[in-house]
Amino acid sequence: MKKITIITGHYGSGKTNFSVNLAVKAAAEGKSVTIADLDLVNPYFRTADFEAMFREKGIKMIAPDFANSNLDMPSIQFDVEQLAVNEDCLIIDVGGDDAGATALGRYAEALAEFSDDIDMLYVINQRRTLTSNADEATVLMYEIETAARMKHTAIVNNTNLGCETSPQIIEESAEFAKAVCEKTGLPLRYTTCPEDIASSTNAPALFPVKVYVKPIWEQ
């Protein structure tokens, strides 16, 4: 895991759950971690929802002004340079699609200074509309890059169907992820899988995750 990890993807792809898992894993390894919630578009399923848990685990959080209130407004400021120097890990959870990535573009120049220490991971989910095939997922990735003024470094296959996710669904998505990697020229960094079924699949680059982000009807 590099010093700065930026997470992008389609709305509902599972970016936030993946970001939370990365932060928790890094903290468990004894690293100092800051997670920045850069989602200025979607008021639901955001990293700010886990503030109490982060505090318990020693994870610092940066969230938009008025996050988690009925006054939610698109405003956030943080010092990229200072965080990159002082923290072992800075994880940036970006809003969905190119609209969400526009906020990241504000920090593109500052982040360029740390280009060798950055992973920009594109999260894909075959079971979500508008990214159900490699062509759609690839087009969206390039739209995000244009808005963010940054390039991705790897792919994260986060294909799932929430509580209905099965080993078969994970394994069937492998060809989809492979096709996206071939079209984009990027490597597959992880294939996420709920912890409770991780031992039942042989998917490539398996990364077991705890399901923190759940729809209201699954909570």
Integer Cα distance of 56 and 30 in angstroms: 14
Output the CA torsion 4→28→20→205 (10° steps). 80
Q: Give pLDDT, residue 175.
A: 98
pLDDT at 125 over 80: yes
Distance CA 37, CA 22 (A): 13
Average pLDDT of the segment spanning 174-192: 98
Residue 110 has pLDDT above 50, yes or no: yes
What average pLDDT does the segment 67-85 reach?
A: 66
d(CA 197, CA 176): 20
pLDDT tens by residue, 32-43 = 999 998 877 665
φ and ψ at residue 84, rounded to 5 degrees: -65, -30
Q: In the predicted model, is pLDDT for residue 70 greater than 70?
A: no
Domain carrying residue 117: 4-218
Strand order in the sheet with 206-209: 60-62, 33-38, 89-94, 4-9, 118-124, 154-157, 188-194, 206-209
What would the pLDDT profile of 13-59 be if each residue is shown by its tens digit? Answer: 999 999 999 999 999 999 999 999 887 766 555 676 788 899 999 99
CATH of the domain at 26: 3.40.50.300
Q: Is residue 92 scored above 80 in pLDDT?
A: yes
Is 97 strand, coil or helix?
helix
Judge whether residue 217 has pLDDT over 70.
no
Instruction: Tell me the pLDDT of the chain averaged across its residues.
Output: 89
Q: How many domains does the chain have?
A: 1
> CA 54, CA 20: separation in Å to the nearest integer?
9
pTM of this structure: 0.92
Residue 79 region, left (φ>0) first, then alpha (ψ -120 to 50), else beta? beta
* Average pLDDT rounded to a whole number, residues 112-135: 96
- Say whether pLDDT at 77 is over 80: no
- Indicate the helix (H) or strand (E) that contains 70: none
* Region 81-104 average pLDDT: 91
Is residue 51 within 8 Å of 20, Cβ to Cβ?
Answer: no
